[in-house]
Amino acid sequence: MSKEERAAIENALKEGRLPAVVATSSLELGIDMGSVDLVVQVESPPSVANGLQRVGRAGHRVGAVSKGVIFPKYRGDLVQTAVVAERMRGGEIEELRYPRNPLDVLAQQIIAMTAMDEWPVDDLESLVKRAAPYATLPRSALEATLDMLAGRYPGDEFGELRPRLVWDRVNGTLNARPGAQRIAVTSGGTIPDRGLFGVFLVGEKSSRVGELDEEMVYESRVGDVFVLGASSWRIEDITPDRVLVSPAPGQPGKLPFWHGDALGRPAELGRALGSFTRELSGLAEDDALGRVSTAGLDGLAAANLVSYLAEQRESTGHVPDDRTMVVERFRDELGDWRMVVHSPLGARVHAPWALAIAGRLRERYGVDAQAMHADDGIVIRVPDMEDPPGLDVTVFDPDDVERIVVDELGGSALFAARFRECAARSLLLPRNRPGKRMPLWQQRQRAAQLLSVASKYPSFPIVLETMRECLQDVFDVPGFVQLMRDVSGRRVRLVEVETPQPSPYARSLLFHYVGAFMYEGDSPLAERRAQALALDTSLLAELLGQADLRELLDPEVVADTERELQRLAADRRVRDLEGAADLLRALGPLTTAEVARRSSEEGSAHWLAELEASRRAIRVRIAGAEHWAAIEDAGRLRDALGAPLPVAIRRRSWSRWTTRSAT
């Protein structure tokens, strides 16, 4: 529930228009409630399927009738409310799509499978392909995922990531490393972590009341009263991982809010909405009122909707529909230009369109335009210029659309946010402690560090999965391509108008625009495009008169840090076979004595022999001394030393081991 929705419900409660309210999250999950007589929805459902699912929670008994009421939040919401309600009655739900080849879920399932049994790669591939989302999974994508899970990363910068399994490439088998089962159990699942705080009754650890958004908890103080479910609760204490409350019956409290991803209007529903407005535009006022009333709106709502369309037509001369897109241009309060693209096709089509327009404006005019997309169109702010951009910045060659979107997407905040979620689902960034929440800002920091490295390697599976998720699950790129084909084929026309002030449609979009950018400075750094300053550091030091940075460091602290990084500190020493494998991967080739110095037990020689027997380590001669090295470094050592390969690994299967390792 957004802050706007919370305010709308509070106003409705004060005016006595809502007998009872149940949170949308509870409606969708069907939890935290008993029998529901009436579902009240504030704002139109994002799709017909969502509307039916929510209203279906009422009258959830054999023979009962499900009943629901929709309260539009603003005039522009009236149009979608009418169309969705009408299509709900007709059962015209949208086409269902399922993800294709999601590599993050594949990685998670492979870890869970190998945690229980040894798996031949071919058998695992056959089983995976029996699931519809992976029926067309390429072998190359599977092997890239296995490489990632086995610790065969494309660069040394990934050294902080611990392998989750062991891939014996000679025998073609997969085995889990210690701890894989615990990670799969504690960090599994596909719902992204939103950094929620658990709410518990004070003094009763097992009495869980619900969850609160991290941002709302930071805005709350001990003694505040809030409403959760149908009850009021007073905050007694806020700990690092939970909120302790006590009942506050009868006391008014603020409604909580949760951040979530808006689903976005499907293009199928958008075309139906455009067809509806085109039909109304061709009717006389009385006929239009009658047509709207059949969609389920009461008299006041029907009159408001018809007048809303009439005002839009009077302002711009056109009402956007499924065959006409309107590009409106006007100046804002600062004298800058605002371009508003009016389209009913929904946010999933408008999101890649907005990215492409912003990229073209940056390329042609050298301006970093601020673009915001919504279900009803796109708002773009352009700095003041004599000749403002025209229709040409909104039209693209259909054959170039996907390339343009991919080029723009990599530097967007959406990509960074989705990368964090994909990395967590693939168990690369698991939770540290079971049962303990990890602050969302810390998750963003960890993900930003990984993204800064992974972005250099386009073939890294999680980078590919993030791009796939954005292009297929978040965006409707095929819908955008089809729109451009319709424009080039004159099946859809683009109309350009310049107005002295925003039209009614534009005012609705500007409301969302303000909300999107009002708190832009508070957005997490990990999910914003990095902006680096190019400074002459030596000149800056002279200007500020600063001492050399080395003079500020304590030599003893530096020495302690070196011992920790070299695994010579008592608490960083190797304790088992897998620790020895990690040691060689992290530090590079080491002699037997050097490994023994970094081990807490006498079994280091045995561990090295076992790693060699399982083809996970090799012996190489460097500067006349025998060293142990991880098999992943074999290609690098071969290229660097230029020496013949050790007899132990000079086999027919050598290329299978080192093809991806060589740099």
What does residue 364 show for φ and ψ, rounded to 5 degrees? -85, -40
pLDDT at 154: 74
Q: Does residue 357 sit in helix, strand or coil?
A: helix
How would you class 623 by CB atoms within 10 Å of its CB: exposed for 0-12, middle for 13-18, buried for 19 or more?
Answer: exposed
Asked if 216 contacts 198 with a C-beta cutoff of 8 angstroms, the reply is no
**Rounded Cα gap, residues 55 and 81, in angstroms:** 14
**Rounded Cα gap, residues 98 and 490, in angstroms:** 32
Q: Does residue 65 sit in helix, strand or coil?
A: coil
Asked if 327 contacts 315 with a C-beta cutoff of 8 angstroms, the reply is no
Q: Point out which residues pair with 120 in neighbouring strands.
A: 173
Non-local CB neighbours of 654 within 8 Å, separated by 6+ positions:
645
SS3 content of the chain, % helix, strand, coil (to 5): 50, 15, 40
Non-local CB neighbours of 391 within 8 Å, separated by 6+ positions:
327, 494, 496
pLDDT at 543: 58
**Rounded Cα gap, residues 232 and 227, in angstroms:** 4
Asked if 344 contacts 279 with a C-beta cutoff of 8 angstroms, the reply is no
Q: What is the CATH number of domain 553-658?
A: 1.10.10
Q: Point out which residues pair with 627 in neighbouring strands.
A: 620
What pTM value is reported for the model?
Answer: 0.77
Give the largest CA-CA distance in the chain: 97
Asked if 269 contacts 84 with a C-beta cutoff of 8 angstroms, the reply is yes
**Rounded Cα gap, residues 423 and 453, in angstroms:** 13
Token pair listed for 229 = 């479910």
Asked if 569 contacts 557 with a C-beta cutoff of 8 angstroms, the reply is no
pLDDT at 317: 92
| CB neighbours of residue 206 within 10 Å | 6
**Rounded Cα gap, residues 223 and 235, in angstroms:** 5
Calculate the dihedral angle through the C-alpha atoms of 520, 523, 526, 532, rounding to the nearest 10 degrees.
Answer: 30
- Closest alpha carbon to 54 in 27, 31, 30, 80: 27
Token pair listed for 118 = 């040894």
Token pair listed for 104 = 């993050």
- Closest alpha carbon to 454 in 160, 659, 155: 155
pLDDT at 517: 58
Strand 324-331 to 337-342 pairing: antiparallel
Q: Which one-letter DSSP state was computed for residue 473? A: I
Strands (E), 196-336: 197-201, 208-212, 225-228, 231-238, 242-247, 324-331
3-state secondary structure 148-160: HHCCCCCCHHHHH
Strand 377-382 to 617-622 pairing: unpaired
Token pair listed for 346 = 């929904």
How would you class 278 by CB atoms within 10 Å of its CB: exposed for 0-12, middle for 13-18, buried for 19 or more?
Answer: middle
pLDDT digits (tens, 9 = 90+) for 444-453: 888 888 888 8
pLDDT at 662: 32
How would you class 38 by CB atoms within 10 Å of its CB: exposed for 0-12, middle for 13-18, buried for 19 or more?
Answer: middle
E strand or H helix at 582, and its extent?
helix 577-587
pLDDT digits (tens, 9 = 90+) for 231-284: 889 999 988 778 999 999 888 888 887 766 677 899 999 999 999 999 998 899
Asked if 226 contacts 210 with a C-beta cutoff of 8 angstroms, the reply is no
pLDDT at 20: 43
E strand or H helix at 187, and its extent?
helix 180-187
Q: Where are the domains positioned within the chain?
A: 3-71, 197-247, 553-658
Ranges of the chain whose pLDDT falls below 50: 1, 16-31, 519-535, 647-663
